[in-house]
Amino acid sequence: MFEQLHGRERIICVLAAGSPEESIPPILKTRLIPDASGVLREMPAEPLAADLRPEAKAKRKAELLRIIAAVAGCSYDDLRQRERARKRKRIALASVAAALTIAAVGVFAFQFHQTSEAALIAESKSLAAQALDQYAQGETAQAIETALQALPSSESDTSRPLVPEAQAALEKILALNPDPEQPWTPFYLFETDGEIVDVTYSQEGTWAAVLDATGTVSLYNADNGTLTGTATPHVFELRDDTVPARDWFIKAISPSCLVMGNVTGPGGVVVIDPLTNEVLLDLDDIYPLTAIPLENETGSSDFGLLTYGTRSIAAFLVDAQAKNLLAGAEMPVDQFPRMANLDTFCIQKAPARAYYALDTALVTFNLADETARQDTVSDATIQSVHCKDDLVAFAAANIENSSDGINNYPFSITVARNTGDGFETLWTYEDTFAVTVSTRNDTPQPFASVPKIVDILHCGEDLVLAAAGKKLYAFSLTTGEVVYEQEFAASIVAA
């Protein structure tokens, strides 16, 4: 009926399953075609059908195009070309969109990277500055850790940029490129509640002690600067007339002996063992000037104590571990010098003698028989004294009003033998030196480079090590022969 009303051309065959022979109705397999005489005859026909049986997506899509072409009344080839054009356009649009997306993501990633890198650079610079501050405070270990945080972990590490400031900070902390203008670098920092009055340390490098103006003594581990303990000895009592820098002192004698003294006021000496914090000795009613280790002995807790009274000076040999005074001798004096030169005090155990210089004279304390005598041994003021057995080495120079106008001051190094009733000079070396001075009331005031006997050493033979001005000398103790001499670019402050 549909074929008769609308025509066969409006019938579109779609093969969804089975074979064409089974699925296409018989009426569509024939058609009436006029013969040569014009008579309609039924002839076999092969109708076109869209085959939807293939599962391939492309094939099914092509077959759907056939259906659409038939419905639209257009050529299948034209429709397929238009579909291909639309597909190419969609692909082009998708490609453009993808490219724009990639570009946008790239720009965002670049901006994010730039922002992140700028933040890391700023952080590294901040860490570098923090590391240098820690280094300046003596916190070397913490400074190294902070500087490392500011740097990439290796050459292949790209998580953090290499910032020159951070690299320079680490190099400075590790002293890889030392600054010739800054030869000294801090290792750690001691901080106290009050102004630092005195500092001393064990020569063996086990501890350091700091005395501040509040009277507190702080003990530190010399290896890393860690605070190990604090104490406020009664000898450091603050009074209205106390001047801590003038009146108080601390002296390291050995790893197990620290001496603390008060020169004025109530006076007093306290001796402790820094390793155990045990009080070894507590002496009242004594006015110490200084405490020093024994000459020619290392590691001993025995020490010498120089004290003064109204009209006398005294030297004592102290056994800290035994907690008593082994021996002592006192010397009457008419007037004690206004400024005591403590570099002229030395003491030894065998023979038991101590020496102290009063201007041009040497006071000998014979500790064994508790006697003392005074002998003039120099024409100039004695600046430094050391002793070994029965020999005494001393440096002498008159600093004021003795210059030749060009800062050359004469000095002498002398070694004399103690004969029991005086001194016999073995040799004297004379030279000149230049002092570092300040001027007050047109008078030069030396504050460095004063001639000094540094020590008596044993290097195959006994040597006297001395410093004066810019020069360092080594003399044979017995003959005075100069075995070493070195002049430096600047005055020797300590040796």
DSSP 8-57: GGG--EEE-SS-HHHHS-GGGTEEEEE-TTS-EEEEE----EEE-----H
- Using DSSP's 3-state secondary structure scheme, residue 467 falls into strand
The pLDDT confidence band at residue 400, using thresholds 50, 70 and 90, is low
Domain extent, residue 401, equals 382-495
For residue 31, tell me if it sits in a domain.
yes
Is residue 390 domain-shared with residue 454, that is, in the same domain? yes
Is residue 41 domain-shared with residue 113, that is, in the same domain? no
The more confidently predicted of residues 21 and 480 is 480
Q: What is the pLDDT of residue 347?
A: 95
For residue 391, tell me if it sits in a domain.
yes
For residue 233, tell me if it sits in a domain.
no
Per the DSSP assignment, residues forming a β-bridge with 217 are 211, 231
- Whether the pLDDT of residue 205 is over 90: the answer is no
CA distance 433 to 250: 32
Q: What is the pLDDT of residue 49?
A: 64
Is residue 389 domain-shared with residue 483, that is, in the same domain? yes
Instruction: Pull the structure tokens for residue 108.
Output: 């965002």
CA distance 328 to 317: 6
Is residue 106 domain-shared with residue 55, that is, in the same domain? no
Residue where a domain terminates, one of 173, 204, 223: 173
- Whether the pLDDT of residue 211 is over 80: the answer is yes
Q: What is the pLDDT of residue 337?
A: 62
Is residue 156 domain-shared with residue 65, that is, in the same domain? no
Residues 303-325: what's their mean pLDDT?
88
Is residue 432 domain-shared with residue 484, that is, in the same domain? yes
- Whether the pLDDT of residue 402 is over 60: the answer is no
- Whether the pLDDT of residue 447 is over 60: the answer is no
Residues 390-417: what's their mean pLDDT?
81
- Whether the pLDDT of residue 38 is over 80: the answer is no
Is residue 387 domain-shared with residue 481, that is, in the same domain? yes
The total of structural domains in the chain comes to 3
Residue where a domain terminates, one of 21, 44, 74: 74
For residue 300, tell me if it sits in a domain.
no
Provide, rounded to the nearest whole percent, the portion of the chain with pLDDT above 90: 33
Residues 479-485: what's their mean pLDDT?
93
Is residue 67 domain-shared with residue 108, that is, in the same domain? no
Q: Among 23-32, 113-122, 395-404, 425-434, which range has the highest average pLDDT?
A: 425-434
Is residue 40 domain-shared with residue 106, that is, in the same domain? no
For residue 272, tell me if it sits in a domain.
no
Provide, rounded to the nearest whole percent, the portion of the chain with pLDDT above 70: 76
């670019």: which residue's tokens?
Answer: 489
CA distance 449 to 469: 5
Instruction: Pull the structure tokens for residue 401.
Output: 């009003």
Is residue 387 domain-shared with residue 487, that is, in the same domain? yes
The pLDDT confidence band at residue 122, using thresholds 50, 70 and 90, is confident
Residues 269-287: what's their mean pLDDT?
90
The more confidently predicted of residues 330 and 158 is 330
Burial 377-407 (b: 16+ CB within 10 A, else e): bbebbbbbbbbbbebbbbbbbbbeeebeeee
- Quick: pLDDT tens for 67-100: 666 665 666 666 677 777 788 888 888 888 888 8
Residues 167-174: what's their mean pLDDT?
82
Q: Are 190 and 183 spatial neighbours (Cβ–Cβ below 8 Å)?
A: no
Residues 225-248: what's their mean pLDDT?
89
